[in-house]
Amino acid sequence: MNMDGITSKNIVQMDEKSIKIGWRAPANIALIKYWGKRANQLPENGSLSITLENSFTTTFLSIRKKDKADGAIGMKYYFHGALNQKFGKKIDQLLSHLQTEMPFLSDYKLIFHSENNFPHSAGIASSASSMAAVALCLVSMEQIVTKMKQSNKDFFRRASAIARLGSGSATRSLYGGIVTWGAIASIEGSSDKYATPFPLHELSRLKQTRDIILIVNSKEKQVSSSLGHAMMVAHPYREGRKNQANSNLNEFIKSISEANYQLIAKIAENEALSLHALLMTSSSGTILLQPNTLQIIEEIKKFRESTGLDLFFTIDAGPNVHLIYFEEQREMVLQLVKDKLMRYCENGLWIDDKIGNGPKLLTPEFVI
Ligand code: PMV
Tens of pLDDT, residues 279-322: 999 999 999 999 999 999 999 999 999 999 999 999 999 999 99
- Classify 330 in phi/psi space as left (phi over 0), alpha (psi -120 to 50) or beta: alpha
Tell me if 284 is assigned to some domain. Answer: yes
Spatial separation of the C-alpha atoms in residues 266 and 278, rounded to whole Å:
18
Whether 112 contacts 61, CB under 8 Å:
yes
What's the pTM value of the predicted model, to 2 decimals? 0.94
Residue 12 has pLDDT above 80, yes or no: no
Ligand 1, residues 29, 33, 130, 179: which to mutate, most atoms within 8 A of Cβ?
Answer: 33
Say how far apart CA 122 and CA 214 lie, in whole Å. 9
Lowest model confidence (mean pLDDT) among 39-53, 115-129, 214-228, 235-249: 115-129
Kindly state whether residue 54 falls inside one of the protein's structural domains.
yes
Does 216 share its domain with 325? Answer: yes
Say what angle helices 85-98 and 127-146 make with each other, to 10 degrees.
Answer: 40
Distance CA 89, CA 19 (A): 23
Amino acid at 242: K
Ligand 1 atom index nearest CA of 167: 1
Assess if residue 283 is contained within a domain. Answer: yes
Report d(CA 319, CA 219) in Å as an integer: 10
Shared-domain flag, residues 75 and 93: yes
Q: Answer whether residue 3 is part of any domain.
A: no
Q: Is residue 2 part of a domain?
A: no
Based on the fold, state whether residues 210 and 194 are members of the same structural domain: no
Atom of ligand 1 nearest to the CA of 317: 10
Range in 33-47, 147-161, 220-234 the model is least confident about: 220-234
- Amino acid identity, position 140: S
The pLDDT, as a whole number, for residue 276 is: 97
Shared-domain flag, residues 100 and 145: yes
9 CA to centre of ligand 1 in angstroms: 35
Q: What residues pair up with 56 in beta bridges, in sequence order?
A: 26
Domain count, the chain: 2
pLDDT of residue 366: 33
**Does residue 320 sit in the same domain as residue 229?**
yes
91 in the same domain as 228: no
What distance in Å separates the CA atoms of residue 179 and residue 308, rounded to the nearest whole number? 27
Query: For atom 4 of ligand 1, which residue has the closest CA?
Result: 225
Tell whether the model's pLDDT for residue 6 goes beyond 80: no
Rounded CA gap, 179 and 30, in Å? Answer: 9
Residues 49 and 195 in one domain: yes
The residues that bridge with 43 in the sheet, in sequence order, are 37
The candidate with the shortest Cα–Cα distance to 132, out of 175, 85, 78, is 175
Q: 168 and 265 share a domain?
A: no
* Residue 365 in this model has a pLDDT that exceeds 70: no
Nearest protein CA to atom 6 of ligand 1, as residue: 169
Distance CA 315, CA 33 (A): 10
355: DSSP letter: B
- The CATH number of whichever domain residue 167 belongs to comes to 3.30.230.10
Beta-strand relationship, 108-116 and 74-79: parallel
pLDDT tens per residue, range 79-99: 999 999 999 999 999 999 999
CATH code assigned at 265: 3.30.70.890
Ligand 1: atom nearest CA of 28 is 14
Predicted pLDDT at 121: 62
Contact 173, 128 (CB under 8 A): yes
> Phi/psi of residue 17, each to 5°?
-110, -15
Asked whether 274 and 228 are in contact (CB, 8 A), the reply is no
User: Distance from the CA of 361 to the center of ligand 1, in angstroms?
Assistant: 25
Worst-scoring range by mean pLDDT, 62-66, 78-82, 133-137, 364-368? 364-368
Beta carbons of 168 and 35 less than 8 angstroms apart: no
Q: What local confidence, expressed as pLDDT, does residue 10 receive? A: 44
pLDDT higher than 70, residue 244: yes
> Which atom of ligand 1 is the closest one to the Cα of 128?
1
Does 45 share its domain with 151?
Answer: yes
pLDDT at 219: 84
pLDDT, tens digit, 9 for 90 and up, residues 178-210: 999 999 999 999 999 999 999 999 989 999 999
Percentage of the residues of the chain whose pLDDT score is greater than 90: 84
Tens of pLDDT, residue by residue over 95-109, are 999 999 999 999 999
Bridge partners (DSSP) listed for residue 259 = none
Mean predicted lDDT score pLDDT of the chain? 92
Whole-angstrom Cα distance, residue 314 to residue 325? 11
Domain, as residue range, for 51: 8-199+361-365
How confident is the model at residue 364, as a pLDDT? Answer: 47
pLDDT of 14: 52
pLDDT (average), residues 210-229: 88
Residues 36 and 185 in one domain: yes
Edge-to-edge strands of the sheet including 209-214?
Answer: 312-315, 321-326, 209-214, 350-354
Residue 347 lies in a domain: yes
Q: 188: burial class by Cβ within 10 Å (0-12, 13-18, 19+)?
A: exposed
The pLDDT of residue 335 is 98
Per-residue pLDDT reduced to its tens digit, 265-274? 999 999 999 9
Q: Which residues pair with 29 in a beta bridge?
A: 50
H/E element, 269: helix 261-280
d(CA 161, CA 140) in angstroms, rounded, equals 14
Q: How confident is the model at residue 359 (pLDDT cuts 50, 70, 90)?
A: very high
Rg (CA), the chain: 21
Beta-carbon contacts of 125 under 8 Å, excluding residues fewer than 6 positions away, are 27, 169, 225, 316, 317, 318
Using CB distances shorter than 6 Å, the residues near ligand 1 are 30, 33-35, 47, 125, 127, 167-169, 225, 229, 275, 316-317
259 in a structural domain: yes
User: Tell me, what DSSP letter sits at residue 358?
Assistant: -
Q: Are residue 26 and residue 173 in the same domain, yes or no?
A: yes
Query: What distance in Å separates the CA atoms of residue 81 and residue 277, rounded to the nearest whole number?
Result: 39
Does 241 lie in the same domain as 180?
no
Confidence of residue 368 (pLDDT cuts 50, 70, 90): very low
How many other C-beta atoms can be found within 10 angstroms of the C-beta atom of residue 277? 13
Q: 3-state SS string over 315-337?
A: ECCCCCEEEEEEHHHHHHHHHHH
Asked whether residue 122 is assigned to any structural domain, the reply reads yes
Please tell me the least confidently modeled range out of 4-8, 136-140, 222-226, 316-320: 4-8
Phi, psi dihedral angles at 360 (to 5 degrees): -140, 130
